[in-house]
A and B are shown apart, each in its own frame.
Chain A
Amino acid sequence: MNPTAGNPLALVRQHVLDAGGIADHDLERALGTLMRGAVDNADLYFEVSRQESWTLEDGIVKEGAHSIEQGVGVRAMAGEKTGFAYSDEVLVPALLQASQAAGAIVRQGQQGRVQAWQPRAGHRLYEPVDPLPTLRDDDKVALLQRVDREVRALDPRVKQVVASLAAAHDVVLVCASDGTMAADVRPLVRFNISVIVEDGDKREQGYAGGGGRFGYDHLGPERLLDFGREAVRQALVNLDAVPAPSGEMIVVLGPGWPGVLLHEAIGHGLEGDFNRKGTSAFTGRIGERVASELCTVVDDGTLPGRRGSLNMDDEGTPTRNTVLIENGILKGYLQDKMNARLMGVESTGNGRRQSFAHTPMPRMTNTYMLAGPHHPDEIIASVKKGVYARNFGGGQVDITSGKFVFSATEAYRIENGKIGAPIRDATLVGDGPTVLNRVTMVGNDLALDTGIGVCGKEGQSVPVGVGQPTLRIDGLTVGGTGGDE
C-alpha cells in the first residue's frame, strides 16, 4: 500500500476486497442473507493484519517473528440476540457460508432492508502508515543492541536485559445494513524492556515500555533509552523495599499509568452492556453523585497517535470524547450500536473487538481524570501517614459487586508529609462506586500513560490508554505482610 495516499476507504477496499475477488454485489448479497426475519442490523467486518516482533536477550536478537491474519466476521442482531460466524478466508463462498450460519439465530422470514452505503469521513488521528517498514530490519536489530549495551552500562547490578520491538499494521473495513461503509488503517508500535538487578542475594525486576499509533520513527534511541533508565530505576528502588503495610489507609496515587484505577474501578462498570443487563454496580445511577466534586473522568478515543485512539470504532462509528463523570456526577455510559439501540441512546463510538473472529462490545479507549487544583508536592505534604503508589502492574474488577484490585510495582510509605521507604508488592483493593467519593485532593499534573495498556474483557484483548493527575484517596485497603503498626 501507498502510505501517503489520501482515501483509506478506497485503499482498503482495494487491499482487502479486490484481493479476494469480492465485489459490491457480494457484500449486498451477504447482508441480504443476514437481514431476514426480525434482524435489526447486520454487519460484515473485514480485516487484514500483519504483525512483527524482535526480541533481544543475552545481548543478542534471538528471534524475529512475523504473522499474517486475515478474515471476515459476520454478525446479525435481532433484539438482544446475536448470531456470529467468521471465516479466515476472504473469499465470496466463505463470506456467504458465514452469513448463512450467523443469520440462523432468527427464524427465516421476509427479506429485511439493506440501506444504501454512505461512506463517512472519520477522524485522521494517525497516518494510515504500515509501521513495519518504517525502520530497516538491520536498524531494528542495531537499535535493540544499543539499548542493551547502554542499559547494562547504567549500573553494574544490571544482570539481565530483555527488550523487544513490535509493530502491527491492521487494516479494517466495516459494511453494515444501516448504510455504514467505513475503513481504517491502524498502525501500532510498541517497545518493552525488562531488567533483572542483583545485589548480593537480592534480586528484583524492573519494567518499562511504550508506543502508539505511528511508525518506528517515533520510537527513537533516546526515547527507548529513557524507558531503559526507568526500568533500571524501578528495579533498584525495589532492591531496598520493605514489606508493605496492611490495612485501610490514606493512599496517594501518582500521575499517569496509575489511572488504571479509573479504568478498573469506574470505566468497566460504565460499559453499556453491563448496564443494559443490570449487572453493573453503576446500573441506573446516571445523574447520581459517584465521586467527590473534584473528579471529572472522560473516555476519549480522539487523542492523536495514542495507543487507545481510533479514527472509528470497529462498527464504523467515529470515536468521541465521552464524559463519564463530571464534577462527581455520573453522566454517561460507553455504548456500541447494539446496546445503544436497546437502551434508546446513540453509540458513543466504543464498539470494539479484538479481531474479525470476535464480536464487538462496548470497550474503553483512553480513559482519564482531568487535572485538579493541587500541586503534587502539596498532596504528599498533606499526608501524615500513608502510602504513595507511583507505579502499577495489572488490575481487575468485579463489575457486579464493584470490587476492584490492583498491584503496585513501585510504592513508598508516606511519613509526616514526606516520601519514606520503598515498599514491596502491595495490592490495593476497593469498591468502585465509593472509592472516588474518598478523593480529597486532585493534582494539577495530569499525565497519560506511555502506551502500554492492554484491556481484557470476556477473553478479548484490545489496546487502551489510561491517565490521571496525582490523587489523594482517604481510605483504600492495602494488602502487605508488614502489619499495621
Chain B
Amino acid sequence: MPKTEGKLLNKDGVRIDGRKPTELRPTRIEVGVLSNADGSAYIEQGKNKILAAVYGPHEAHPKHLALPDRSLLRCRYHMAPFSVDERKSPAPSRRDIELSKVIREALEPSIFLEYYPRTSIDLFIEVLQAHGGTRCAGVTVASLALADGGIPLRDLTVACAAGKVEGQLVLDLNDDEDKMGEADVPLAYMPNLDAVTLLQMDGQLTIEEFEKAINLALEGCKQLYQLQKEALRTKYVTVKEEEVEEE
C-alpha cells in the first residue's frame, strides 16, 4: 500500500482539497485577455493560473523554416520562475521542451494549417502559477487562444488528467496528488472527432484500471469543453447583445 495512506484521501473518500474523486477543480476561463496578441485566453484551474497567446498566421522567421504546403505551428510552454515552490530557472528545462512538443502535437491535428502555406503560427503558454496538471490546462487554454485568434479549427482541443491516489481513481489531479499518487494519465481530446491527441502516463496501472482512467479523463474533458464554449460565448455573443441594446 502507498506510503501516503490516509493523507490524500480521508476515510469518506474526500480528497486533500475537499473534492470528490470524480470532481474537477473549480475552473474559470476567459477569452481575449491580451490586446497585443492575435488571440489569447486565460485559465484558472484550482491554483493553476495560465495565460496563452497566439501570434499569426504571419510570415515565418527564419524564412527557411516555412513549409510550402501549410503553416508552421510553433509552441512554447514556459513556467515563470515564481510559479513553483522553489524558484525555477527561466531557461527552458528538458521537461519544458518535451511539454512544448507534446502540446504542439496535441493541438496540431485541430488546426487547418493547410489554409496558410508559408506562414507560421506562434503559440505561447506561460504558466504563472503551477499546481499540477499544467500541460492539460495549457492545452485547454491554448486551444481557446487559437479560436480567439480566428484560426480555423476542426474542433476545440480539451485536456484533462485522471489518475490513481491511494487505490482510488480520481479526476484532475492537483500537485500533491500528482507527486504522491500512484499514477497520472494526462489526455487531450477533440470531442466532436473522438480523437485522442495527447496521451501520456506515469505511475502504475493495470490495463483494466487504465481503461477506467482514460474514460474518467474523457468525462473531465467533456465538462471542460462546455466551459470552453461558454468562455467563447461570453466574449463573442454577450458583447454583441450589448451592442444591440445600445442602438
A and B form one complex: no
B residues contacting A by CB (< 8 A) are none
A residues contacting B by CB (< 8 A) are none
